[in-house]
A and B are shown apart, each in its own frame.
Chain A
Amino acid sequence: SQTIHQWPATLVQPVGSPLSLECTVEGTSNPNLYWYRQAAGRGLQLLFYSVGIGQISSEVPQNLSASRPQDRQFILSSKKLLLSDSGFYLCAWGQGRASEKLFFGSGTQLSVL
């Protein structure tokens, strides 16, 4: 069966510090991968998605970047965090011809202070 791992669960970082969040998927090959951010009580904002190694589509952020160095690994990074980067970060992989069904990791609660 497929599983998705995301870590850490909680992270507190000072403004201006770097960020690296990692997500890995097991039990499937060539998954479509996603990074979302969720503010408290709000919807999910699509940040990046990837349909293959080295293929990254960026939706929103100016301060964040994503990389996919291996088939089942998706990394979210920042060189210098801003206060506005705080939020709940969720990694997901998509099942189906058009990723009709997304499976989410357990999320990382990031607080930038």
Chain B
Amino acid sequence: GQSLEQPSEVTAVEGAIVQINCTYQTSGFYGLSWYQQHDGGAPTFLSYNGLDGLEETGRFSSFLSRSDSYGYLLLQELQMKDSASYFCAVNSGTGGFKTIFGAGTRLFVKA
């Protein structure tokens, strides 16, 4: 089966940098993605890593190490609006279409 582990909560101050880690176990791994979800809303896509290394999109970066079954999401210059839940998800199975989500990390950004 598949399993993903990420911290349940992280707190940081405005303007700081925060890193949310994700470790996974799965067969037929294709890639790791990250989603943001605000309370009451639907998840929105942030980033995807199919290969080892760092992907940067504005204030957000994501990293993957396939050999370590590990990835992280890095959020820089934190803003209050970044307070949300962040989910890592793995694409696996035949064709990689099976997308399994972690339990999520609740990020609290304080002034």
State the A residues within 8 Å of B (CB).
Answer: 32, 34, 36, 42-46, 49, 51, 57, 59, 90, 94, 96-107
- How many Å lie between the Cα of A106 and that of B44 in the bound state? 11
Cβ–Cβ contact A104 & B102, under 8 A:
no
Given A42-B103, A43-B102, A49-B98, answer yes or no on A98-B30 (Cβ-Cβ < 8 Å): yes
Q: How far is the CB of A44 from chain B (nearest CB, A)?
A: 4
Please tell me the number of chain B residues within 8 Å of chain A, measured between CB atoms. 24
Q: How far is the CA of A102 from the CA of B101 in the complex (A)?
A: 12
- What are 20 A-B interface contacts by the 8 Å CB criterion? A34-B99, A42-B103, A43-B102, A43-B103, A43-B104, A44-B43, A44-B87, A46-B99, A49-B98, A59-B98, A90-B42, A90-B43, A94-B97, A98-B30, A99-B96, A100-B48, A101-B33, A101-B45, A105-B42, A107-B41
Q: How far is the CA of A46 from the CA of B90 in the complex (A)?
A: 12
Chain B contact surface mostly: strand
- Contact flags (1/0) for B40-66 with A, using CB distance below 8 Å? 011111001010000000000000000
* B97, A98: Cβ atoms closer than 8 Å: yes
A51-B97 contact in complex given A42-B103, A42-B104, A100-B31, C-beta closer than 8 Å: yes
**From residue A60, how far is it (CB to closest CB) to chain B in Å?**
11
Query: 7 more A-B contacts (CB under 8 A) besides A32-B97, A51-B97?
Result: A44-B101, A46-B98, A46-B101, A90-B43, A100-B91, A103-B45, A104-B43
Q: Given the complex, which residues of B lie within 8 Å of A104, measured CB to CB?
A: 42-44
Instruction: Kindly state the separation between the CA atoms of A104 and B102 in the bound complex, as whole angstroms.
Output: 16
Does A51 lie within 8 Å of B43, measured CB to CB?
no
A106 touches B42 (CB 8 A): yes
Q: Which residues of A contact B35 (CB under 8 A)?
A: 102
- Shortest Cβ distance from B32 into A: residue: A100
B100 contacts the other chain (Cβ, under 8 Å)? yes
- Find out whether the CB atom of A49 lies under 8 angstroms from the CB atom of B102: no
